[in-house]
Amino acid sequence: MLASDKFHDECGVVAIYAHPEAEKLTYLGLHALQHRGQESAGIVSSNGMMLNVHRAMGLVADIFTEDVLSRLRGTLAIGHTRYSTAGDSALLNAQPIMVQSNKGVTAVAHNGNLVNAQEIRQRLEGQGSIFQTNSDTEVIVHLIALSKEHTLPEAIADALRRVEGAFSLVMISPDRVFAARDPRGFRPLAMGRIPALPGEKQDTVVFASETCAFDLIGATFERDVKPGELVIVGPEGTTSRFYSPAAAQSSCIFEHVYFSRPDSIVFGRSVQESREGLGRQLAREAPAEADVVVPVPDSGVTAAIGYAAESGLPLRFGLIRNHYVGRTFIEPRQTVRDFGVKLKLNPIRSLLEGKRVVLFDDSIVRGTTSRKIVRMIRGAGAKEVHMRVSCPPTISPCFYGVDTPSKRELIAANKSVDEIREFIGADSLAYLSLEGLKRACGDGEKTQYCSACYTGQYPTNWVDVEAIQPAVLLKR
The pLDDT profile of the chain, 476 residues, written as one tens digit per residue, is 344 555 544 699 999 999 999 999 999 999 999 999 989 999 999 999 999 999 999 999 999 999 999 999 999 999 999 875 444 556 777 899 998 988 999 999 999 889 898 899 999 999 888 888 888 889 999 999 999 999 999 999 999 999 999 999 999 999 999 999 999 999 999 999 999 978 888 999 999 999 999 999 999 999 999 999 999 999 999 999 999 987 899 999 999 999 999 999 999 999 999 999 999 999 999 999 999 999 999 888 999 999 999 999 999 999 999 877 665 556 666 667 777 788 889 999 999 999 999 999 999 999 999 999 999 999 999 999 999 999 999 999 888 877 677 888 899 999 999 999 999 999 999 999 999 999 999 999 989 999 999 999 999 875 554 544 444 443 33
Please answer whether residues 180 and 242 qualify as being in contact, where contact means their C-beta atoms are separated by less than 8 angstroms. Answer: no
Q: Are 179 and 225 in contact (CB under 8 A)?
A: yes
Provide the pLDDT for residue 86. Answer: 47
DSSP element (H, E) containing 124? helix 117-126
Nearest CA among 316, 253, 288 for reference residue 388: 288
Q: b/e for 287-317, b at 16 or more Cβ within 10 A?
A: bbebbbbbbbbebbbbbbbbbbebbebebbe
Q: For the purposes of burial, counting CB atoms within 10 Å of the CB of 102, is it exposed (0-12), middle (13-18) or buried (19 or more)?
A: exposed
Whether the predicted model's global pTM rises above the 0.75 cut: yes
Distance CA 155, CA 386 (A): 55
pLDDT of 330 reads: 60
For 303, what's the count of Cα atoms within 13 Å in the CB-facing half-sphere? 32
Active site residue 453: no
Which CATH architecture fits 11-247? 4-Layer Sandwich (3.60)
* Residue 389 bridge partners (DSSP): 361, 431
Task: Measure Cα distances from 353 to 190, 314, 356, 384 in Å.
Answer: 46, 15, 9, 10
> In 58-129, at which residue ranges do the beta strands (DSSP E only) sit?
76-82, 97-101, 104-114
- Other C-beta atoms lying within 10 Å of the C-beta of residue 399: 24
Q: Determine which one of 11, 252, 391, 398 is catalytic.
A: 11
pLDDT value of residue 405? 72
| Per-residue model confidence as pLDDT tens digits over 254-296 | 999 999 999 999 999 999 999 999 999 999 999 999 999 999 9
CATH T-level topology, domain 275-446+460-474: Rossmann fold (3.40.50)
pLDDT value for 469:
46
What integer pLDDT is reported at residue 92 of this predicted model?
A: 74
pLDDT in the model for residue 6? 56
What residues form DSSP beta bridges with 204? 194
Residue extents of the structural domains in the chain: 11-247, 275-446+460-474
Alpha-carbon distance of 190 to 156, in angstroms, equals: 19
